[in-house]
Amino acid sequence: MNLDLNGRKAMVCGSTQGIGKAAAVELASLGATVTLVARNEEKLRAVCAELPAPTGQKHGYFVADFQLPDSLREQLQGVREPFHILVNNTGGPPGGPALTAAPDEFVQAFQAHLLCNHLLVQSLVPGMKAAGYGRIINVISTSVKIPIRGLGVSNTIRGAVANWSKTLATELAPFGITVNNVLPGASMTARLDSIITSRAQKSGKTREEVIQEMIDEIPAGRISAPEEVAAAIAFLATPAAGYITGINVPVDGGRTGSL
């Protein structure tokens, strides 16, 4: 099985923590040269220094705020080097019911997730086409299969990203470019920690009780580590996954109640 990413360049968004950071580490360990993308330059610099470089890669980063698509568009104009791998990964919108969400919440989430993903794809696809090799991996949510209660805005926008991805997969397959979605279930990240805290406050339960309720819904009987989600992302980025495109891959310990 060819898992070698030596000579490949990867751009990983939201890569200073959680799943994004774990994905960057995994891709680098397979030989990819990684460019990190996030808002906090200090954290970017620290993660960049931690990345493995088994083949002597020189990793890098650039600062971007996905709440500001126009600013991202301007920054991408300065990106000249070709990339072979793009991992779209952005922190989810705040929780709450869809019914009470303000219209601006949907607009902001749409900009941060779909529009910024789209700008990145438009910027990097020409280089992928020229190389005859491209891997676009979107980290979204199992809510694209079954909506998650209390995440009204997220459910709506994640669904839009999933359909955008499937459309792109059809358009880009002739060029050797795959487009897939990884759907994390409960993974111990800052995002999950925030959800746990919110549920505990609203329900009057302890954090431990909320965590146990989550675990009770997972056939595997545990919450995943970010590295387990990163492994799926990294595999989809490799030559071995060249005939896999247009799919949603849940990494959720069997929690999602649909195929």
Which domain, by its residues, includes 125? 9-185+225-251
Residue 186: which pLDDT band, with cuts at 50, 70 and 90?
confident
Q: What is the pLDDT of residues 71-82, one digit of tens each?
A: 899 889 888 889
pLDDT of residue 168: 98
pLDDT higher than threshold 90 for residue 246: yes
The verdict on residue 206 lying in a domain is no
pLDDT of residue 188: 83
pLDDT higher than threshold 80 for residue 191: no
The letter for the amino acid at 89 is N
The verdict on residue 220 lying in a domain is no
pLDDT higher than threshold 90 for residue 182: yes
pLDDT of residue 199: 83
Q: Which neighbouring-strand residues pair with 10?
A: 34, 85
The verdict on residue 15 lying in a domain is yes
Residue 92: which pLDDT band, with cuts at 50, 70 and 90?
confident
The verdict on residue 72 lying in a domain is yes
Residue 170: which pLDDT band, with cuts at 50, 70 and 90?
very high
The verdict on residue 128 lying in a domain is yes
Q: What is the pLDDT of residues 101-149, one digit of tens each?
A: 999 999 999 999 999 999 999 999 999 999 999 999 999 999 999 999 8
Q: Which neighbouring-strand residues pair with 136?
A: 86, 179
Distance of CA 186 to the CA centre of its chain: 14
For the chain, what is the domain count?
1
Distances from the Cα of 10 to the Cα of 41, 77, 105, 149, 202, angstroms: 18, 17, 30, 34, 40
Does the predicted TM-score (pTM) go above 0.85?
A: yes
Residue 36: which pLDDT band, with cuts at 50, 70 and 90?
very high
pLDDT of residue 197: 85
Tell me what the pLDDT averaged over the chain comes to. 94
The verdict on residue 235 lying in a domain is yes
Q: What is the pLDDT of residues 156-168, one digit of tens each?
A: 999 999 999 999 9
The verdict on residue 57 lying in a domain is yes
Report the CATH number at residue 97: 3.40.50.720
The verdict on residue 120 lying in a domain is yes
pLDDT higher than threshold 90 for residue 245: yes
